[in-house]
A = this chain, B = another copy of it.
Amino acid sequence: MSENSPPYQIQSQDHESLTVPLLSHQQRSINSTSQVAIVGANVCPIESLDYEIAENDFFKQDWRTRGKIQIFQYIFMKWLLCFLIGGFVSLVGFFNNLAVENIAGVKFVVTSNMMLDRRHGMAFLVFSVLNLLLTLFAVIITALISPAAAGSGIPEVKAYLNGVDAPDIFSPRTLMAKIVGSISAVSSSLVVGKAGPMVHIGSCIASLFGQGGSRKYGLTWKWLRFFKNDRDRRDLVTCGAAAGIAAAFRAPVGGVLFALEEMASWWRSALLWRSFFTTAVVAIILRSLIDVCFSGKCGLFGKGGLIMFDAYSANVSYHLADVPPVLVLGVIGGILGSLYNFLLIRVLRVYNFIYEKGIIYQILIACTISIFTSFLLFGLPWLASCQPCPSDAPEACPTIGRSGNYKRFQCPPGHYNDLASLVFNTNDDAIRNLFTNDANSEFQLSTMLAFFVTCFVLSILSYGIVAPAGLFVPVIVTGASYGRFIGMLLGSHTNLSHSLYAVLGAASFLGGSMRMTVSLCVIILELTNNLLLLPLIMIVLLISKTVADAFNGNIYDLIMKVKGFPYLETHAEPYMRQMTVADVVSGPLQLCHGIEKVGNIVHILKTTRHHGFPVIDASPHSESSVLYGLILRAHLIALLKKKSFLSTPIRLGVDDAFRHFSADDFAKRGLGNVDKIEDIELTDEEMEMFLDLHPFTNASPYTVVETMSLAKALVLFREVGLRHLLIIPKVSGRAPVVGILTRHDFMPEHILGLHPLLVRSRWKRLRLQLPRLLKIF
């Protein structure tokens, strides 16, 4: 540890044996990773969330004063909030579907009627202008009112649950933009989904309920005061995300599993129970609302949207001989899924590059895609040949004057256009057509191929627009189309019906792109309402995930990476085992004393952007100081704001602290409402006074010794859900704390930036070549 050793001593050694800790050069650089990310469509600064309980004397005293009544209030409110979240999310989900079905329905009825009158040009004009207007509306409210509402929102919520606080993602503005934008984007015939936005909407509603009221609008209630912290909000947002999926697919169990498998970074048994309660509320309310709609009070909302649930009701029988084609489907799904992820990320990068030039470019791209989509959807059916109507069709054929499944389009009477039935329809109806029509002859082979290519291309191009856009429905419709295509190719060589192939195709593409297992399996089962499919869906999902994992990561993780969220993985990279925490920690370190001068505190807060400061005390026994704990920036600012300073440096008791402050002063407000040090005006006299930080300092911060391996520090940081991890020296006699680790210090970009040597070392190479395989260690 001598200061004279060469800074990269390690370079002279054999790369294969990195046994000497990299610590030797005592590097103390500033963390170089950027602390900004693309949230929705715009670049914003991001911060970490405080999931650790700050156990200071003041809070401990506050907990002790809480009686049984407060505990009852807290528990009652938690369940009540879950109930309210479930209720609101199901109402929004229902309203969403109702609006889409009616807006898109009117559009299709109007254009179909014009087609019947042979006014083809007029029909195209109306169709494309309506689509363009709806897209424009979605883009403009997103870009102008809340850019954070763009995209599916799942990456943002996933990052939030990992501890990354992106500004504005849960504001009421974003909620409104997301709801309205999602309705108009989906109605505009773009190939975008509504499930992802529903997850974001659910999380947003949950987060708003978790604000603990709003002083600005006079919505305060003392029963809500216990929720002003990130831990409780995290639980509620997890329930909200589960409710979102439950409302989008009417899949309550699937929603819980989705939140568990894909969204949440921390999970407790109690959370499982509470999210299950939330989705149960969603399921029951949705069921009642749909019962109301069955009596025909919901306009064009017929079998639309939510009723995907009962899509597949045929009896299934299959044998071992049917397994090989299913395996092939899984492999194809894996390859296509990873290709889809690869292309989508490429397109997103291009879009992000263009979007930096201004809002006008964001609108231009959306308009181009809308016009291109209209051209494709309206033009393609002309290439398909007309089919005679089947004599035993379950509904009027061709459909006239309402939204239906046998589109006549340009065909003569008594015929229908099978491609128009798919593309000239909402995505939900297209999925239902593909899943339910057991008549194996309804679609032609060329139709299915054309539809698959259209969906694949359009969904990749459409996801990146600056409007709420989900991925679930596009992936399902694309997967169902190639699944049915393969079923048709196999023809009589298989016992399974084409519609079953469509379901399995959707499963394989979902597995290949999103890489979930249990949750996707349950969601598909709940969508199709047929438990007998279970073994086949399990095989398909396992194979497509395995194949796709050999190529790249799951789509949400890739998007999160493109957006630049510092997502903390559970597993440590192999090279982290060879490093110590001292190798990555960045300085300079700012310390506070237990009893500190106000001026110093203000100076520290103004000159740094750290969010936690170690508090040290003079040791009674020796000259060196001892670590007392860690104090948060937010708590320091709350102390300064209250201005109850001490004129002499004496130590305050907890009871004194309790007289001057209330727990509410330290509550973390939501929606990024934080007081800034610049807003606090202090006189010169006050600057010379003192503050006793002891009662407000978290006296039990987690610590690691500087020689701890980085991999084990990451496990501690990740599993316990920390924001700051103090590093204490191995040998006493130096400062009692030598550094603080935060989320950014564990990011591979930061570590590899500090130690470029690692990029070339065997450990990094290994990681790059076998990226997925190592993950499943």
Contact = CB atoms under 8 A, between A and B. Distances in A.
A13 to B, nearest CB: 13
A280 interface: yes
Given A71-B770, A273-B517, A705-B728, 19 more contacts: A55-B577, A55-B711, A60-B577, A75-B773, A75-B776, A78-B776, A252-B535, A253-B518, A270-B777, A273-B545, A276-B518, A280-B535, A283-B535, A283-B538, A619-B732, A621-B731, A626-B732, A700-B707, A700-B712
Interface string A727-747: 010111100000000000000
Contacts of A215: none
Contact of A542 (B68, B253, B277, B719): B277
Given A517-B272, A703-B703, A766-B68, A284 B539 contact: yes
A754 interface: no
A269 B276 contact: no
A57 interface: yes
A775 B270 CA distance: 8
A440 interface: no
Interface in A57-94: 57, 60-61, 63-64, 68, 71-72, 74-75, 78
A647 interface: no
B622 A733 contact: yes
Contacts of A775: 270
Interface in A260-283: 260-261, 267-270, 272-274, 276-277, 279-280, 283
B730 A272 contact: no
Interface stretch (A138-146, A523-531, A591-599): A523-531
Contacts of A78: 776
A703 B700 contact: no
A105 B317 CA distance: 29
Taking chain A's interface residues, is the majority helix, strand, or loop, or is none over half, making it mixed? helix
A715 B319 CA distance: 50
A280 B326 CA distance: 14
A5 interface: no
Interface in A687-741: 699-700, 702-705, 707-709, 711-712, 715-716, 719-720, 728, 730-733
Nearest to A63: B577
Contacts of A776: 75, 78, 270, 273-274
Given A68-B770, A624-B732, A720-B716, A578 B703 contact: no
A280 B539 contact: yes
16 contacts: A252-B534, A252-B535, A253-B518, A269-B570, A270-B777, A273-B545, A287-B535, A291-B319, A525-B531, A529-B532, A619-B732, A620-B731, A621-B731, A622-B732, A700-B712, A732-B732
Given A55-B577, A720-B716, A276 B542 contact: yes
Contacts of A256: 518
Stoichiometry, copies per complex: 2
Given A261-B269, A720-B716, A705 B703 contact: yes
A231 to B, nearest CB: 10
A214 interface: no
A257 B704 CA distance: 35
A627 B320 contact: no
A12 interface: no
Q: Which of A63, A529, A621, A777 has the most CB of B within 10 A?
A: A777
A97 to B, nearest CB: 18
Interface of A: 16-19, 53, 55, 57, 60-61, 63-64, 68, 71-72, 74-75, 78, 252-253, 256-257, 260-261, 267-270, 272-274, 276-277, 279-280, 283-284, 287-288, 291, 319-320, 517-518, 521-522, 525-526, 529-532, 534-535, 538-539, 542, 545, 570, 574, 577-578, 580, 619-622, 624, 626-627, 654, 699-700, 702-705, 707-709, 711-712, 715-716, 719-720, 728, 730-733, 762, 766, 769-770, 773-777
Given A60-B577, A270-B775, A716 B702 contact: yes
A603 to B, nearest CB: 28
A777 to B, nearest CB: 8
A17 B55 contact: no
B702 A712 contact: yes
A283 B720 contact: no
A531 B526 contact: yes
Nearest to A709: B700
A51 to B, nearest CB: 11
Q: Which of A256, A261, A274, A518 has the most CB of B within 10 A?
A: A518
A14 to B, nearest CB: 11
A546 B252 CA distance: 19
Nearest to A712: B700
A624 B619 CA distance: 17
Contacts of A574: 63
Contacts of A621: 731, 733
A526 B534 CA distance: 10
A627 B261 CA distance: 40
Contacts of A287: 535
Q: Which of A61, A260, A291, A320 has the most CB of B within 10 A?
A: A260
B288 A320 contact: yes
Contacts of A700: 580, 707-709, 712
Contacts of A580: 700
A71 B773 contact: yes
A529 to B, nearest CB: 5
A702 B703 CA distance: 9
A284 B702 contact: no
A720 B720 CA distance: 8
A578 B517 contact: no
Nearest to A17: B64
10 closest cross-chain pairs (CB), A and B: A732-B732, A280-B538, A719-B719, A700-B709, A270-B776, A700-B708, A276-B517, A700-B712, A283-B535, A529-B531
A17 B287 CA distance: 52
